């Protein structure tokens, strides 16, 4: 185990955690406001990647791919929430089965449209290349992911903590009935949060397509990671999603590098331990 | 509402279930091999769906990782039968014990949680088993799966390698599982589970150990899922990560929801519907997942209490 190994793996874990944060922060917010366990959240990530791919092919623009992925999936999220999920308030099992139904449909549609081959989005020249510093070699694209996650995290935190809309969202999380009572349109807040969560996941999907690629089955492969992040961090908590993402990113990377055959075990066993000590996750309040 | 449902659960599903079993046994020799293999699949999946019903329908716990117990048992049979030439009893016992032990371990973590947390934790725990099946290549052969799992030799005049004897074997297993789970559901223990489903706080106030009842239901449910997994490994002759993946878990959940949770016979019916639908649809189109997804959404929107629940309420 050379110093290079530790530096590289730590950095890889950090950047994977940053990607997971883009995915999981939306899932956590959606749960916080609507109490919906969205099993189609991994599908937003995958579809975002695919939409971004098609746009990148047509226009050659990475930025256009990012925007198109996020906007398209925000619309999909709005449609899902308005037309379907809203009919099932408080029915956990019903919501779960319905979001699984959507996940299956999305998976099959993606296969129909984009086929079974894996693709990846080539990042712009500005973001390719490798920076060498000390014992480590750091791909610029992964540095970019970390920066993006920090910016998104800071923006989310500022929006939730400092703005009027953020206050409305927090009120809806804490006590939906009371929030409705003081004149906050909770259904509209829910819809907005759902759209934002879907857009964030899709944005993550486009970013992720730059180094994970995008392929059939990515949706159900990435979903458990988002769940572990949210379980470890605590449902509905933004700081929880940040800490959880970092932890999961690092655990997953070191698990894969040190114990390849048991890598999932090294990810889920610490989760079980945290739950045994704190059943609501590190930052959960429920 | 739920009280009325469980009160009306009386004799009707039992009579219908027995009629279905007898009918299946009578027509089986007349069937060509393809429908017969489908019926065999139905019998095995019915065991799996009924095992989940103990958890979802009777105890009110929605598990998203039920394939884990089914799959561990199937892998136990696959490995023992191919590498150790293990026979009927060894495979059966090892499969069920391994599934039960897995459920006993997972239950310690999962039962503390309620509602949404329970769902997410069982999903994650199920993924642990999937991850091991997928990555622990030296034991499980990874994505390639374990092929050539032989069916057991029994001291009977008929070999289980032939489709018809194996169908009767699976049918008998399903009937036994139904009888055992039905007895459990009607026992004082089963009634306590229903009480826990309706109101945990009230049951706790009455002096019941709620945690222990939920935990035992979880373990028993896992053990019966293992029973189904053992027979599945023999039936299929092939064990792969598909048997433990998330889609298998949610398909089982759909079978229960479709048939009507808390009725046992309903989930068995749900298993039949899903198995036949899956096979017939895949004859005509490759878009099976699309249709399955639509079935999920349709069931939730139009028959939220399952087919049996919907029939029963229209009957009243």
**pLDDT tens digit string along B175-200?**
999 999 999 999 998 888 888 888 88
The Cα–Cα gap between A118 and B291 comes to 24
Q: Which residues of B117-149 are buried (b: 16+ CB within 10 A; e: fewer)?
A: bbbbbbbbbbbbbbbbbbbbeeebbeeebbeeb
Interchain pair A227, B123: CB under 8 A:
yes
The pLDDT of B212-225, averaged and rounded, is: 94
The pLDDT of A208-220, averaged and rounded, is: 90
What confidence score (pLDDT) does residue A161 get? 87
A59 at interface of B, judged by CB pairs closer than 8 A:
no
Q: Over 70: is that where the pLDDT of B145 sits?
A: yes
Where do the DSSP E strands lie in chain A? 130-133, 136-139
**B293 vs B86: which has the higher pLDDT:** B293
Domain B2-246 - what CATH class?
mainly alpha
Q: Has the ipTM of the complex gone over 0.85? A: no
The Cα–Cα gap between A92 and A85 comes to 11
The whole-angstrom distance between A77's CA and the closest CA on chain B is 16
pLDDT band of B8, cuts 50, 70, 90: very low
A285 at interface of B, judged by CB pairs closer than 8 A:
no
The whole-model pTM stands at 0.86
The pLDDT of B151-174, averaged and rounded, is: 86
Please name the residue of chain B whose CA is at the shortest distance from the CA of residue A99: B297
Interchain pair A92, B132: CB under 8 A:
no
Cross-strand partners of A130: A139
Determine contact, residues A105/B293, Cβ cutoff 8 Å: yes
Between residues 83 and 102 of chain A, which touch chain B (CB distance below 8 Å)? 84, 87-88, 91-94, 96-98, 100-102
pLDDT digits (tens, 9 = 90+) for B229-262: 999 999 998 998 888 888 889 889 989 988 888 8
What confidence score (pLDDT) does residue A283 get? 81
pLDDT digits (tens, 9 = 90+) for A82-93: 998 888 877 778
Between residues 123 and 182 of chain A, which touch chain B (CB distance below 8 Å)? none
Q: Which segment, A36-40, A51-55, B1-5, is predicted with the most confidence on average? A: A51-55
Chain centroid to CA A2? 32
What confidence score (pLDDT) does residue B172 get? 93
What confidence score (pLDDT) does residue B288 get? 80
pLDDT band of B161, cuts 50, 70, 90: confident
The pLDDT of A259-286, averaged and rounded, is: 76
What confidence score (pLDDT) does residue B1 get? 36
Cross-strand partners of A136: A133
- Going by C-alpha positions, the residue among B63, B163, B170, B42 that lies closest to residue B117 is B63
**Mean pLDDT over all residues of chain B?**
85
pLDDT digits (tens, 9 = 90+) for B10-69: 577 788 888 888 888 888 888 888 889 999 999 999 999 999 999 988 888 889 899 999
Q: Which residues of A177-202 are buried (b: 16+ CB within 10 A; e: fewer)?
A: eebeeeebebbebbbbbbbbbbbbbb
Between residues 97 and 156 of chain B, which touch chain A (CB distance below 8 Å)? 108-109, 112-113, 115-117, 119-121, 123-125, 127-128, 130-132, 134-138
pLDDT band of A134, cuts 50, 70, 90: confident
Q: Where are the domains of chain B?
A: 2-246
pLDDT band of B316, cuts 50, 70, 90: very low
The Cα–Cα gap between B277 and B299 comes to 14
pLDDT digits (tens, 9 = 90+) for A43-60: 999 999 999 999 999 998
Between residues 20 and 39 of chain A, which touch chain B (CB distance below 8 Å)? 31, 35, 37, 39
Q: Which segment, A122-126, A127-131, A241-245, A268-272, is predicted with the most confidence on average? A: A241-245
Q: Over 50: is that where the pLDDT of B7 sits?
A: no
What confidence score (pLDDT) does residue B176 get? 95
């Amino acid at each position: 185990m050379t110093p290079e190994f530790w530096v590289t793996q730590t950095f890889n874990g950090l950047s994977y955690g940053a990607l997971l944060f883009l995915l999981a922060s939306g899932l956590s917010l959606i749960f916080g406001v609507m109490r919906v366990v969205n099993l189609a959240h991994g599908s937003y990530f995958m579809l975002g990647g695919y939409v971004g791919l098609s746009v990148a092919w047509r226009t050659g623009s990475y930025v256009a791919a990012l925007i198109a992925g996020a906007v398209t999936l925000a619309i999909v999220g709005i449609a899902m929430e308005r037309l379907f999920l809203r009919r099932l308030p408080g029915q956990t099992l019903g919501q779960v089965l319905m979001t699984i139904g959507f996940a299956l449909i999305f998976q099959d549609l993606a296969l129909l449209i984009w086929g079974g081959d894996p693709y990846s989005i080539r990042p712009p020249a500005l973001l390719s290349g490798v920076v060498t510093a000390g014992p480590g070699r750091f791909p610029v694209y992964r540095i970019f992911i970390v920066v993006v996650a920090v910016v998104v995290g800071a923006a989310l935190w500022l929006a939730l903590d400092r703005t009027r809309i953020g206050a409305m969202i927090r009120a809806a999380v804490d006590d939906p009935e009371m929030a409705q009572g003081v004149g906050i349109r909770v259904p509209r807040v829910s819809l907005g949060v759902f759209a934002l969560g879907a857009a964030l996941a899709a944005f993550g999907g486009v970013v992720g397509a730059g180094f994970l690629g995008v392929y059939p089955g990515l949706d159900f492969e990435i979903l458990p990671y988002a769940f572990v992040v949210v379980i470890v961090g605590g449902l509905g908590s933004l700081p929880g999603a940040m800490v959880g993402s970092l932890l999961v990113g690092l655990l997953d990377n070191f698990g894969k590098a040190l114990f390849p055959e048991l890598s999932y075990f090294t990810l889920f066993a610490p989760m079980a331990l945290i739950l045994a000590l704190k059943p609501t996750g590190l930052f959960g309040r429920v | 509402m739920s009280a009325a449902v469980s009160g009306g659960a009386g004799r009707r599903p039992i009579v219908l279930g027995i009629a279905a079993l007898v009918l299946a046994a009578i027509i089986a020799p007349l069937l060509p091999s393809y429908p017969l293999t489908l019926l065999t699949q139905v019998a095995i999946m019915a065991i799996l769906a009924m095992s989940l019903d103990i958890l979802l329908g009777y105890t009110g716990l929605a598990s998203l990782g039920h394939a884990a117990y089914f799959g561990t048992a199937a892998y136990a049979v696959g490995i023992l039968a191919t590498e150790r030439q293990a026979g009927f009893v060894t495979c059966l016992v090892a499969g069920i014990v391994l599934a039960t032990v897995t459920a006993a371990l997972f239950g310690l973590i999962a039962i503390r949680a309620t509602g949404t947390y329970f769902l997410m934790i069982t999903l994650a725990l199920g993924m642990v088993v999937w991850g091991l099946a997928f990555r622990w290549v030296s034991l499980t052969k990874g994505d390639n799966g374990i092929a050539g799992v032989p069916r057991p030799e029994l001291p009977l005049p008929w070999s289980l390698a032939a489709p018809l004897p194996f169908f009767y074997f699976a049918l008998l297993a399903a009937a036994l599982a139904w009888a055992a789970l039905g007895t459990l559901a009607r026992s004082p223990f089963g009634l306590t589970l229903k009480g826990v489903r309706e109101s945990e706080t009230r049951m706790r106030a009455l002096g019941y150990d709620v945690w222990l009842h939920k935990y035992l239901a979880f373990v028993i449910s896992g053990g019966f899922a293992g029973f189904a997994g053992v027979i599945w490994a023999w039936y299929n002759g092939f064990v792969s990560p598909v048997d433990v993946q998330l889609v298998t878990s949610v398909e089982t959940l759909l079978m229960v929801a479709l048939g009507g949770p808390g009725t046992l016979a309903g989930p068995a019916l749900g298993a039949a519907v899903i198995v036949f639908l899956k096979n017939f649809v895949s004859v005509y189109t490759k878009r099976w997942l699309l249709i399955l997804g639509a079935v999920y959404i349709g069931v939730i929107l139009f028959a939220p209490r399952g087919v049996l629940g919907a029939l029963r309420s229209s009957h009243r």
